[in-house]
Structure 1
Amino acid sequence: MLDVKKFSESDLYGLLGVEISATEAEIRKGYRKKALQCHPDKNPDNPKAAELFQELSKALEILIDASARSAYDRLLNAKKAAQLRTQQLDSKRQKLKNDLEERERRAKEEAGGPRASYKVNKTPEELFQEEFERLREEGSKLIEEEQELMRQQLREEKQMHSRAESGWDASKHRIKIKWPAGKDDPFNGGYSQEALNKFLSKYGEINVLVMSPKKNGSALVEFKTQEAAEMAVSYEKGRLDNPCCLEWIGDAPKNKNSRTGGSNTITDRDYESLVLRQLRQAEERRRLIEQMMREDAEEESFGK
């Protein structure tokens, strides 16, 4: 748990790389820039990165909350004023000052208890601590939203990096799925979003799967990886009693490692492993089909 003392003694503006006069938008911008650099997902082997990320998030939480920022600014100004006064004192007067502060501190501790609170004015440190505890108890929806935006940005950066390395852009190689289904068939030829997802997800992660809203017997799928997309096009036939057909929208993707020179994007080198994987997937597919047929039979029995 983050300690209030750590933040009361820290330069939160400096931590976020902004000026004391910074607007909320500038504070958020500074936070994003610093937090993206030390985000735990980017630095999994650096425990200090996670700690710094937490500190940046807490600094943002304090500085975008009007009341907490005001208390922090008062504390900051009080410390600067005290530092200036201290610099102006000679060593003898400094000792007298320290002795006086110590006596005041002891007197305050001895006065303690609930009745003393209204006799002693709250110090900037105490006011800041109250605001710090309030934020801790309330939590901050704004911080959660900010961190979710950051996670989304990191996911997008990761996807772009993955695409750059593999040369695969899923959005340019979507697949159209067709199957026989009557125009007014309420069961759409036995296919549904869930059924298609069961058939296709065994090949790999799916980015998007959309059933045609205009006509039966049509859907579109986008796979995360080229291998998953190629395997689905090559092998998937859907329901045994009503097979489907998968076709590339536009040209099939090119495989720069292909040694065959043909139009098939699955290479000879990969063929053996794909066949072995397909044998395992065929058994899963058979079980899924049996389950779907049982569900269909139950629905028909229920309808009677």
Structure 2
Amino acid sequence: MASTKELLQMDLYGLLGVEGKATEKEIKKAYRQKALSCHPDKNPDNPKAAELFHQLSQALEVLTDAAARAAYDKVRAAKKQAEERNNRLDDKRKKIKLDLEARERQAEAETQKTEEFKITRTLEEEIARLREEGSRQLQEEQRLIREQIQKEREWRLNAQSTHADLPSAQQDKRKVTPKLKLKWKCKKDDDTNGGYSQEVLQGLLQKYGDILNIIISSKKKGSAVVEFSTVRAAELACKNESGLTGTPLKISWLEGQPVSAAPPGPDYSRTGVFTSSQTSLSSERDYESLVLMRMRQAAERQKLIEQMQREDEEEEVAKT
């Protein structure tokens, strides 16, 4: 545990990202989220991650113990009041204050104000007690984190093994970004294209997830292709979006329609381990996929344009 002086310089609430009035449940939740990302087992080559994990553990120890937290809050409140008083002083009074403090430091170098000494001493005693007794809550939280990290490792290995066993054609299919075909009724001489533009479609569909491309056909009105970054976003848009009231959308899959192949993730609800890391792990995979898709975005966009042109030409031929 850090020394009392070090703790006095740390903003324990800020370190955990919670308010000063946060409940114990909120403090534990914040600790879990931050400690998981910087756990030494997940960052073996990053010494700063280990240091941050240690500081988070110290913050949890103090803020989940009622007596230690009360003592820390008093020190924190005293510092805040002193800062507020200092901020209210004008330049002239600040100079007077600095001169006075210099004389006081010279005359009372070995003394402290009675109240400050008392609350600091109380915090020291509480920290000493925690050091002797150990923090049961901290040990329990760290045990849960270790269990979750192990489950995530097993899940990754299982997912990698399943992916390796898939036929090459199915693996190639999984690499295709999800694309939807949009159609709506529109007259040939309608300059507004039925009320749809790239901005309008972006506004309607972005609530379902990140959009990589929106291509509106330049040859045939009432037709567009939308490329999403994730299959889930495309699924939601396909199932739920109806478009503008006067000119509803007809949405169908063009590419990347999902196939159930991935193994289920670990069930955290049975063990009591918090489930926020499921989201973080999924987000990590989505981010990696998104980076790769961004690299191919220009080529995909050109491919979409060419594909739409071919489809429009085929439809024109079929009509004639």
TM-score normalised by the chain length of structure 1:
0.48
Pick the structure with greater CA Rg.
Answer: 1
TM-score normalised by the chain length of structure 2:
0.46
